[in-house]
Amino acid sequence: MGVEDAPIVIGSAGRRLYLIDWFRTAFETLGLNGRIIVAENDPTSAAASYGDEMRLLPPYTDPAYADELLRLIEEFEPKLFLSANDYELMHLHVDTNIAAGLRKRGIFVPGVSPAWQKGCADKLHMAHMLEDIGVNTPMTVTGNEVDRLLGAAGSSGEFVVKHRFGSRSSGLVVVTANHLDEAVASSAKSVRRRADSTDVLDEVIVQPCAPGSEYGVDIVSSLVDEGSLSGVFARRKLRMRAGETDKAVTVDPAPFADAAAKIARAAGLSGLIDLDIFLDSAGTVSVIDINPRFGGGYPFVHLAGADVPLYYLSQIFGIAIDASWRHYEYGVVAAKYQETRVTAHGQQSSDMQ
């Protein structure tokens, strides 16, 4: 493989077409003839036909997934395998050793250690992992331990009830102490039961409301020296929509640097992950959520000047770049909007989903 052919695989890009655009631009900046292979489950998704090549992968739950993925790897010999889907990442890093196998072949698979990947899916476990490394996070209990929480945190102020294994704000309610029991019961009704769950109240967690304003923070570690932090990017969330940041303003990441370095080191981080963090007027941070992948907030810092795709490719292909990839302008406001593209022609509507 030479400069003529620099293949990378982006899996489950879904609606994040901008990632494909920005990797393409980064290839151009580095003077590489990049080839972006999109691995999708749905051949008519927005991303499926947006790369240079598309390969269909079965759902990660399908026993054929691993073989199909291996076939794709053998066909293209990519240097990078990137997934933006939490469930696929769990499958790659935790439920199987596919990610470890790819890395052994010399393929970069950004992410966190299996223990942290697992923690990212379980908000109760994550709170304990953060406490263990000295990163501040709201006290977190299950729906069965509300009394213990009130005993420790007092019953003034507001509390957040949410699904322990949730995403996109699932089961989320904000209430005062006197309404906690009913909020827990109501959140528990919409829990998606897991095979090994016994008590549905253990599938719900309760936390005091974190003080201050909410920020989205991307932290980036070297792909070749795991755990060493190379960039921190922050924006204050101005508006949320369907569990994603819809409007945000970029800010100086300095208040988050200490927590970022601790998490990167403990999680054996390689590449970028996305954190939700509250910051109060005294400068105290509370980390409430970790998404171990490119999250919906990255565009806000990219559009202000950060360039993580350029950093990834420079590391993967061994091309030196200066530090400007990690510089961005503060005070930039950006808002999301919707787009639609044609993804197939000549289809019978009865065959489509």
Ligand X SMILES: Nc1ncnc2c1ncn2[C@@H]1O[C@H](COP(=O)(O)OP(=O)(O)O)[C@@H](O)[C@H]1O
The contact set with ligand X (CB under 6 A) reads: 138, 160, 162, 166-170, 172, 207, 209-210, 214, 243, 276, 288-289
Return the number of the residue (40 or 289) whose C-beta is nearest Mg ion.
Answer: 289
200 binds, among ligand X, Mg ion, none (CB under 5 to 8 A by kind): none
The pair of structure tokens assigned to 332 is: 């930039």
Q: Phi and psi (nearest 5°) for 205?
A: -120, 160
Residue 49 binds which entry of Mg ion, ligand X, none, CB below 5-8 Å type-dependent: none
* Closest CB 326 distance from Mg ion, rounded Å: 23
User: What's the min distance (Å) between Cβ of 297 and ligand X?
Assistant: 10
Pick 25 or 167: Cβ nearer ligand X: 167
Instruction: Compare residues 88 and 289 and give the one whose CB is closer to Mg ion.
Output: 289
Instruction: Residue 288: name its binding partner from Mg ion, ligand X, none (Cβ under 5 to 8 Å by kind).
Output: ligand X
Residue 311 beta carbon to Mg ion: minimum distance, rounded to whole angstroms = 24
| Closer of 70 and 153 to ligand X (Cβ) | 153
Q: Measured from the CB atom, is 172 or 185 closer to ligand X?
A: 172
Distance in Å, CB of 123 to ligand X, minimum: 6
Query: Minimal CB distance to Mg ion: which residue?
Result: 289
Binding partner of residue 194 among Mg ion, ligand X, none, CB under 5 to 8 Å per kind? none
Which residue number, 57 or 217, has a Cβ lying nearer to ligand X?
217
What are the residues binding Mg ion (CB under 5 A)? Answer: 276, 289
Alpha carbon 49 to chain centroid, angstroms = 23
The pair of structure tokens assigned to 269 is 């981080």
Q: Which does 214 bind (CB under 5 to 8 A by kind): Mg ion, ligand X, none?
A: ligand X
Q: How far is the CB of 251 from Mg ion (least distance, A)?
A: 18
Q: Which does 314 bind (CB under 5 to 8 A by kind): Mg ion, ligand X, none?
A: none
Comparing every residue's Cβ against ligand X, the nearest one is 289
